[in-house]
Structure 1
Amino acid sequence: MRPTIPQLETWNLDAVHRAAEAARANADLLSTSVDDCSRALSAAESWHGRTKDAATRRIDEEVDHGYEVRAVLLRIADDAADVSQGLKHAKTYVLEQKNLAVSQGFTVSADGGVSHPEPEKSGAAGVFQLNLRSGLDEIERLDTLFGRRLREAVGDLVAIRDGQPSVTLADGSMHDPDAVVTRLATLSPDERAAFLAGLSPEVQRQLVIAAPETLGNLNGVPFAMRVEANEINIRNALTREKAKPVPDQARVGQLEAMLSPIPDPEATVSAAALGMVDRKFVMFSTEGNGRMIEMLGSMRSGVPGVGVYVPGTSTNLNSSGSNHVAAWNLADRTGGPIFLYMEGDFPQSLTSLSDGAPSPSFAAEMAPKLVEFGREVDREVSSHAPGTPVTYVGHSYGGSVVGSAEQLGLRADRILHASSAGTGVFEGGWNNPNPDVQRYSMTAPGDLIGVVQSYPDAGLSLPGLRLPGNPHASDVLGGDPDEVPGVIRLDTGYYGDSSSRAGEVVFGTDGHGKYWDDPGSTAFGNIVGVIAGTDVRAYVERGIETSWVDVGLGDNGNGGKEAFDAGRAATAQAVLDIENPYADPRVTDNPQLGARIEVR
């Protein structure tokens, strides 16, 4: 419904907010009740026999049914809360614009038209009218979207009141949803995708309600279904965490953030438009340090490119906020969907040989999963944005994950190693099925990862000591993506104008990742250019010095010189107590940006 301004003035949206709270409270009460019932039966350890078995089966059925009802109640609560917040914001905006216009002598009509008796104020009247009608457009959009979603949810709730109804498959046969999901789990991803494509949206939704924990992470399931399932899974994880005797407050905060709306990276800049959207997760698990794949933006015809961003060491679910922001900025700047890929545990230490960044085990474990996920991305691209190029960006340890996945057959149109730990942990070269793949790399001068990249593949033999080689170095490609033939090296350049380091060269230890926090930096712009297929800046070798470090021409890519530069910095810190020996860098050679390169 598109209200008139007088109608909007009478709207009381508190009732919508109260409805959301009531639905959420009832969902929690239902969950607690069925859990208590299940625990009570489990506690009856001395009870045995047919009656106990029958009671157990019946209670298990009701627990399952209770969780299905709870999932729908939470969906209603979430949608009601979103529409309440959105409509309240839009209502406030429209009425403030109307009051401001009236206070300045403009006449505002019921439909948002604005006029003024003085002709010279027609331009200002047009601005007010545009703002008011944009706000009313947003209200109509929200009302239509959430009205449909709430009607669907209420319909689902009615349908499962007495138990989950059977669903109708493509051949007309009727089956229990849980049995259908059990069957789906036995199929290959391709078979699964073909099977689900033959089902109606209503049946797909019933399957999600029946088994969200299975469908949320199952390859072959359309991303829209996985997103819906994982919203339920995240809410369930939040409830379980809060119910613990000592909840992990960092995890609680992270899960709550994952369920909170965010600005839409695809929204046009307009004060009238809320541009708030739910976050979308095509994979979620609390296993290990917490795992997820977040999709920012949407897969649709006309997007310039699709990006998959694999972050590096110390990444985990609880502290993934900065990775989310970087992925959001990529989606905002490229205009296409970006996937933040965290389908596995990352090393949490920079130095531990057994379970830190030097260990290849994390990359070896994640690489096959990335290959499989790449097939799912290609499937979605084929369905929703045919022909759109897909780019994989690996930062730091994530570069080793991406390189290892390419060794195992990851298909990509473009690859970017950003401050990458290496080319891959397996033997042999890259094995991309796309013969026209474009590969790019960039590493900031003075970044300590350069020492790792240049470390001898075969290790070092010293008197009485044998040091192993770089575990992220392919025996064919070596450990430095910047030096691999065919890889185009890009310029990390300078920080952007809006940064606190505006105009400063990207350099040193901070040069390893700080550019990810600065969308205006040369390096971030290069990532955007590769994904969007526009243009990038070619590598320029610079001489850079500080009061304690002097990186000269020829140092980059020379392991001995890079290690010497790093040693001088470490000595300044340890012996002279210099907090940051890389601070206040001065470019002594080649300050110009690299030449522009068109991305094919």
Structure 2
Amino acid sequence: MTLPDVAQVLTWRPEALTELADEWDSAAARLQAQADTVDDTMAGTSGVFTGAGAGAARHAIGPTATGLHRMCRALVLAGAEARDAADVIGRGRDRVLAVLADARAEGCPVADDGTVGPPSEPSALLVACSGGSDSAARAMLDERATELTRVLKGALSALGAADAEAAQAIDAAFDAASADPAAVRPAAAAGDPVADWPQMSQDSIAGRIAAMSDAERQRLIEQKPHEVGNTDGVPWDMRMAANRINIANAILDEHRSLDIPEEVTLRAAVVAVRDPADAERLWATLHVDPELRAATIAAHDRNARDRIEYYESLLADVPDAVDRDRRVPRQILGFDPERESLIELSGDLDRAHALAVVVPGLNTTFDGSADDVATARRFVAGSGGEVAVISYLGGHFPTGELLGGVKDAADPHYALQMAPRLVAFSEDVERRAGAIPVTYLGHSYGGAILGTADEFGLTADRVVYVEAAGAGVGVHDPSDWHDRNPAVLRFSMTAPGDPIELVQGIRSGPHGADPDEMPGVIRLDTGRRLTGAPMAGPSAHSDVINEPSDAWHNLLAVITGDREHIRVK
């Protein structure tokens, strides 16, 4: 690694990397349009262009089209690395400039290699403070110059390391575009290597992947990213790598949607209208009202650009929850926009002594997951990294404001659809967690999802119903739960005055019994807020899991298994 010198750092513009990333994104969108044209042209001639020559032509053009699409994806991923680099290098450069400013403010000469010299003469004030001794004053200046040299050279070294790491990451993104595109043919399977995954057990899938070489695993990630990134039983490092590809592909899909004909955009807006009569009226109006037509198209494009920005944030590094000066990649274990599934791990599972899985509730959305991830990261930070936390968005959640949200949350089908996925995921979590305890927290409607999963065969060490809508669809007695761990401990927490109490345990209600009243469930105390006031009232519904109050610390104690600090009612 070659260290930058002071003169070079003064000329660096880290923001140029962000500008370059934007250019790469634009190039990816343009190149993708050309690749799509090649695909469409070949597909359009399949019925009229036949024979040996046609087959040879398609065989020849296939790798070219595939290569174009791979390059589009590489441009997006390289752009993500460049944006991360702009941030890290920018902060590194700021540290160098800050030390440089201190040195110059003290009258110290600075060499390009970062060596700082003492001022030529000590000030009268420094001599006076040194008891009138010129030599003592000069010794103090020498010591200060040595310290500034150490700090400045350290900052230059850190900046050089960040620059080298950024270059390596960008190179790796482009190297993937030129990797061997040969079809994956593991010895254990012929044809499509993932075709029979839906019928296989997780252990069988894990075993098949374990039998592959590193090169085969990498090709599997490249060629089947959707399946690899969203299938339980696949090693988590492979899922994370595949989901970076899936996110890049989603960005490209949104760029593609910006280029579709206006009529297609308008038709999509009409299809979203549930009532057929309303849809027909809208379609007619869009063709006679230029302002509505323009507004509909603008809304479509704005939504697409918002999703691109959101997906780019999923590719960006984030501050480590424990060491905010260190940035780490996001660990996406599941990414499926069509199913609105997003599963993310926060923290370092290899160093953690406990793992938690948080299932959120009402008004959770696929593209609004930032609050749920922040909740997970607070638990990681609050434990000093002793805990890793997974935020689990396994599909559609009920949504709506006020009464609309309450009405939608009364529908049990969200829990019934998501619970089997959570059960399957819990099996994968158990495999990855090994001996460390796993706690599942279901908040609000997430409690109904969690309870339904507990009914269907969840695997957990501890289960916590936090301000939960119910104990699970069809759960009215502890015998209705069938956790595969016979030693599972169950807890519940509901703050006084939380409106969720109005729907808990309604006879013949959609979400089962009130978990607070279930025999064998340990009732957790909500205690007091940071202000000293009781944790109670409507706002407590979310505050118990977000505000670092007594309730929050109680939940953390359950996750870590710190029995001494668990407070029960």
Query: What TM-score results when the alignment is normalised by the length of structure 1?
Result: 0.72
Q: 1:363–1:401: 8 Å Cα contact kept in structure 2? A: yes
CA distance in 2, matches of 1:101, 1:265: 31
Distance of aligned partners of 1:196 and 1:17 in 2 relative to their CA distance in 1, 3 Å threshold: same
2:349 to 299, 307, 310: 299
- Residue 334 of structure 2 aligns with which residue? 283
Deviates more, 1:63-72 or 1:120-129: 120-129
Whichever residue aligns with residue 511 of structure 1, its letter is A
1:411-448 deviations in Å (ceiling 9; x for gaps): 11222111011111135432222233232221111111
Whichever residue aligns with residue 509 of structure 1, its letter is P
- Residue 279 of structure 2 aligns with which residue? none
For 1:348-359, list aligned pairs within 5 A.
Answer: 348-349=399-400, 356-359=408-411
Q: CA deviation at 1:200?
A: 4.4
1:418 to 427, 442, 466: 466
Distance of aligned partners of 1:198 and 1:42 in 2 relative to their CA distance in 1, 3 Å threshold: closer
- Residue 106 of structure 2 aligns with which residue? 104
Q: CA deviation at 1:232?
A: 2.0
Distance of aligned partners of 1:94 and 1:415 in 2 relative to their CA distance in 1, 3 Å threshold: farther
Q: CA deviation at 1:194?
A: 2.0
For 1:251-266, list aligned pairs within 5 A.
Answer: 252-260=305-313, 261-266=316-321
1:342 to 377, 388, 393: 393
Alignment of 1:530 onto 2:569: no
1:149-173 deviations in Å (ceiling 9; x for gaps): 344444433334xxx135685x6x9
For 1:13-412, list aligned pairs within 5 A.
Answer: 16=17, 20-40=21-41, 47=48, 50=51, 54=55, 62-104=64-106, 132=152, 135-136=155-156, 138-139=158-159, 142-143=162-163, 145-160=165-180, 164-165=181-182, 179-182=192-195, 187-244=200-257, 245=265, 246=297, 247=300, 249-250=302-303, 252-260=305-313, 261-269=316-324, 273=325, 275-288=326-339, 290-300=340-350, 302-334=351-383, 335=385, 336-349=387-400, 356-382=408-434, 387-412=435-460
CA distance in 1, matches of 2:109, 2:458: 61
- Residue 486 of structure 2 aligns with which residue? 435
Q: CA deviation at 1:265?
A: 3.2
Whichever residue aligns with residue 419 of structure 2, its letter is A
Q: Helix, strand or coil: the match of 1:356?
A: helix
CA distance in 2, matches of 1:444, 1:181: 47
CA distance in 2, matches of 1:431, 1:377: 17
Deviates more, 1:430-439 or 1:6-15: 6-15
Distance of aligned partners of 1:206 and 1:45 in 2 relative to their CA distance in 1, 3 Å threshold: closer
Q: Helix, strand or coil: the match of 1:453?
A: coil
CA distance in 2, matches of 1:232, 1:206: 12
Distance of aligned partners of 1:404 and 1:86 in 2 relative to their CA distance in 1, 3 Å threshold: same
Give the unaligned 5+ runs of structure 2. Answer: 119-136, 258-264, 266-296
CA distance in 2, matches of 1:52, 1:264: 55
- Residue 511 of structure 2 aligns with which residue? 472
Whichever residue aligns with residue 35 of structure 2, its letter is V
Q: Helix, strand or coil: the match of 2:92?
A: helix
Q: Helix, strand or coil: the match of 1:337?
A: strand
Q: CA deviation at 1:308?
A: 0.8
CA RMSD of aligned residues (A): 3.7
Q: CA deviation at 1:528?
A: 2.4
Distance of aligned partners of 1:121 and 1:381 in 2 relative to their CA distance in 1, 3 Å threshold: farther
Q: CA deviation at 1:115?
A: 9.0
Query: What TM-score results when the alignment is normalised by the length of structure 2?
Result: 0.76
1:101-131 deviations in Å (ceiling 9; x for gaps): 4423568788878897678899988996786
Q: 1:494–1:503: 8 Å Cα contact kept in structure 2? A: yes
Q: 1:234–1:255: 8 Å Cα contact kept in structure 2? A: no
Q: CA deviation at 1:337?
A: 2.3
Distance of aligned partners of 1:391 and 1:98 in 2 relative to their CA distance in 1, 3 Å threshold: farther
Q: 2:362–2:405: 8 Å Cα contact kept in structure 1? A: no
- Residue 261 of structure 2 aligns with which residue? none
Q: 1:304–1:533: 8 Å Cα contact kept in structure 2? A: no
Q: Helix, strand or coil: the match of 1:284?
A: strand
Q: CA deviation at 1:38?
A: 2.8
- Residue 538 of structure 2 aligns with which residue? 509
1:183-207 deviations in Å (ceiling 9; x for gaps): 6666432122122234444442322
Q: Helix, strand or coil: the match of 1:259?
A: helix
Q: CA deviation at 1:323?
A: 1.8
Q: CA deviation at 1:147?
A: 4.4
Q: CA deviation at 1:262?
A: 4.9
CA distance in 2, matches of 1:27, 1:441: 50
Distance of aligned partners of 1:29 and 1:126 in 2 relative to their CA distance in 1, 3 Å threshold: same
Aligned residues: 500
Q: Helix, strand or coil: the match of 2:441?
A: strand
CA distance in 2, matches of 1:522, 1:403: 24
Whichever residue aligns with residue 405 of structure 1, its letter is A
Q: 2:29–2:256: 8 Å Cα contact kept in structure 1? A: no
Distance of aligned partners of 1:251 and 1:135 in 2 relative to their CA distance in 1, 3 Å threshold: farther
CA distance in 1, matches of 2:64, 2:114: 52
Distance of aligned partners of 1:58 and 1:332 in 2 relative to their CA distance in 1, 3 Å threshold: farther
Q: 1:414–1:437: 8 Å Cα contact kept in structure 2? A: yes
Q: 1:299–1:380: 8 Å Cα contact kept in structure 2? A: no
1:299-348 deviations in Å (ceiling 9; x for gaps): 21x31311111000111113323222222222222323221111111112
Distance of aligned partners of 1:523 and 1:137 in 2 relative to their CA distance in 1, 3 Å threshold: farther
- Residue 476 of structure 1 aligns with which residue? none
CA distance in 2, matches of 1:523, 1:122: 54
Q: Helix, strand or coil: the match of 1:85?
A: helix
Q: CA deviation at 1:373?
A: 0.7
Distance of aligned partners of 1:482 and 1:109 in 2 relative to their CA distance in 1, 3 Å threshold: farther
Q: 1:306–1:531: 8 Å Cα contact kept in structure 2? A: yes
Q: CA deviation at 1:389?
A: 1.4
Give the unaligned 5+ runs of structure 1. Answer: 460-468, 474-478, 497-501, 541-600
Q: Helix, strand or coil: the match of 1:435?
A: coil
Q: CA deviation at 1:222?
A: 1.6
- Residue 293 of structure 2 aligns with which residue? none
Distance of aligned partners of 1:515 and 1:431 in 2 relative to their CA distance in 1, 3 Å threshold: same
Q: 1:259–1:279: 8 Å Cα contact kept in structure 2? A: no
CA distance in 1, matches of 2:425, 2:23: 38
Distance of aligned partners of 1:108 and 1:406 in 2 relative to their CA distance in 1, 3 Å threshold: farther
- Residue 291 of structure 2 aligns with which residue? none
1:330-374 deviations in Å (ceiling 9; x for gaps): 222232322111111111247569971112211111111111111
Q: CA deviation at 1:296?
A: 1.7
Distance of aligned partners of 1:130 and 1:509 in 2 relative to their CA distance in 1, 3 Å threshold: farther
